[in-house]
Amino acid sequence: MLSLRRGVLHVGEYGHIIVEVIFGFFGLFVLTKVLGKTQMNQITAFDFIAAIAVGELFGNAIFDPEVGIPHIAVAIITWGLLMVVIEKTTQRFKGARGFLEGKPTVIISKGELRYEDMKANKMDFNQLMHQLRSNSIFSLSEVDYAIIEADGSLSVLKKSAYQNPTRNDLDLKEQPNPLPVSFILDGEIIKDNIINSGQTLEWLENEIRKQGFSSVSEVVYAEWTPIDGLFTRSY
């Protein structure tokens, strides 16, 4: 039988790889839960490097016959501890945040473009306009301030002339703005949401019939708010 490097595996080696992949997956999954959602959403330069490193360690461990689950566990735990230490360091020592997490950079101030700052962040006009369009802005003339965040995203403040008016601007009273509750998702009735909203399955069936459906099975999505009532969509 040829070795692993020549592309042939024993049956036992297949099983060994499967076990290591499953262990590594759940190990990394638990680690992401421990680190929290912000770590997954706000990827800094340090996080990017650490992710590449642990991916390389994990990948090599899977296909190296001399590396087992204990080695994978050590790699995951070490990476996790390093991330926690860095997180605690940036929380305690503010001076370390800029070095490890990066700093936001203002590239448009009071409508004036700071071209040198834009170049220093390796951003060209194509990238800038793409980011602006992602913020529903199609002209530089609409921008009062623009900031490149530490994670590379662009935060934009429009000039007042291009901002949407608020209820305060129109001198209108505040109105309640309840969060929509999903009653049906992908054709499946979410009973807990219906009960927690003070409604019943019978009420839902009646409301669906009022909207022209013969049965609940015809509805793929439904949401409800106390103000707007039931909103539905069919297959």
Q: What residues have CB less than 8 Å from 162, skipping those under 6 apart?
A: 137, 142
CATH of the domain at 224: 3.30.240.20
Q: Is residue 45 part of a domain?
A: yes
Overall number of domains in the chain: 3
- Are 210 and 126 contained in the same domain? no
Q: In 3D, which of 147, 110, 140 has the Cα closest to residue 126?
A: 140
Tally Cβ neighbours within 10 Å of residue 163. Answer: 12
Q: In 3D, which of 72, 104, 101, 74 has the Cα closest to residue 86?
A: 101
Three-state DSSP state, 192 = helix
Judge contact between 39 and 32, C-beta under 8 A. yes
- Are 34 and 109 contained in the same domain? no
- Are 75 and 117 contained in the same domain? no
Judge contact between 205 and 232, C-beta under 8 A. no
Judge contact between 129 and 139, C-beta under 8 A. no
Q: Is residue 191 part of a domain?
A: yes
Q: Is residue 123 part of a domain?
A: yes
Cα(64)–Cα(193) distance, integer angstroms = 48
pLDDT of residue 5: 45
- All residue ranges of the chain with pLDDT < 50 are 1-9, 37-41
Torsion of CA 42, 39, 182, 221, to 10 degrees: 60
- Are 93 and 109 contained in the same domain? no
pLDDT of residue 6: 42
pLDDT of residue 153: 86
Q: Is residue 176 part of a domain?
A: no
Q: Judge if pTM exceeds 0.85.
A: no
Q: Is residue 56 part of a domain?
A: yes
Could you list the residue range(s) of the whole structural domain that residue 20 is in?
Answer: 4-97
Residue 168 carries which side chain, given as an amino acid letter? N
Q: Is residue 172 part of a domain?
A: no
Could you tell me the strand order of the sheet in which 181-185 lies?
188-189, 181-185, 219-225, 229-234
- Are 62 and 113 contained in the same domain? no
- Are 61 and 116 contained in the same domain? no
- Are 52 and 116 contained in the same domain? no
Residue 64 carries which side chain, given as an amino acid letter? D
Q: Is residue 211 part of a domain?
A: yes
Residue 108 burial by Cβ neighbours in a 10 Å radius (0-12, 13-18, 19+): buried
